[in-house]
Each structure stands twice: as structure tokens, then as C-alpha cells.
Structure 1
């Protein structure tokens, strides 16, 4: 059986645009990713259209929506902080 020879690669950096989802912009974000719902405690969230955002089923205030080209993605605050840093102003 052949041995696998792994090599190191770096991911090419790319720029995204992002917005933190809040109670104030929840309805506007929902237009891009799903429908507003209310949980049993009265908290509003977005029930995500899995055809648009396959990795999540629900998006809450505090999450982030990103845009790159014409593609939207949503991230939990923890994952967003691990993957992205704010770009310095030019």
C-alpha cells in the first residue's frame, strides 16, 4: 500500500463583508437567509432556508452574516472570531 505524503499549504486570504445580526437588523437579514420565528421564550430568530445556508438551521442576534460575491453565509460568534479578523482601514 502506498504511503500518503502530505504537504503543507496555506489558504489564500480573501476579503468578505460582514454584519453582526442584531434585533434591529434581524428582519433585513431574514430577507437574505430565511424567515423570522419566535421561540418559546419570546426571542426572535431566523429559521434558515437550508438551500441558502446549509450549515445552520437557526440564526440568532449575535451571529454574523457574511457576503462574498453573491454568496451569503452565517456564522456563530465563536466560529466567526476564529475565522475572521477585521480588515484595517485603508
Structure 2
């Protein structure tokens, strides 16, 4: 039986980019749990939009992006209204 899952809206920052998209969480899992998993270096971000921090312009839009957690500076869960 598959575990229950949900998608949350996130904004992630690297040194050069802002990334907006959706991150899959299993039932009972928190964003911090997902980020602290050491056996997974990459997290899939769905419906990702990648913006330059230099000029704010949209650089890429893709259905799936593999985000290297070692490049993360900050990741936040967006409020539903955002």
C-alpha cells in the first residue's frame, strides 16, 4: 500500500539562483526531515522555475528539477496564498 503524500510549495535559494516549485512530502514528514536525509543528495522539485539572483529574470522553467542539497543556502515552505 503506497504511503500518503502531499506536495508543498517551496522557495529555495542557492548562491546564484532562486528556485520556486513543489516538493513531495510523505504523510507526517516535515520539510526539515526531507532536508536532513543524508542518504539523498538530490531532491526532485516539480514545476520548477529558476530565477537569477543577479537580475531576477526567469532563466529556466521545467516540469522536474533535481536540486543538489549541498548547494542549498535556504529553503522555505510558502504559505498557500503565495
TM-score between the two structures when normalised by the length of structure 2: 0.28
Instruction: Kindly indicate whether structure 1 or structure 2 has the higher relative contact order, using CA contacts under 8 Å at least 6 residues apart.
Output: 2
Larger strand proportion of the pair:
2
- Larger Rg, first or second structure (1 or 2): 1
Larger helix proportion of the pair:
1
TM-score between the two structures when normalised by the length of structure 1: 0.27
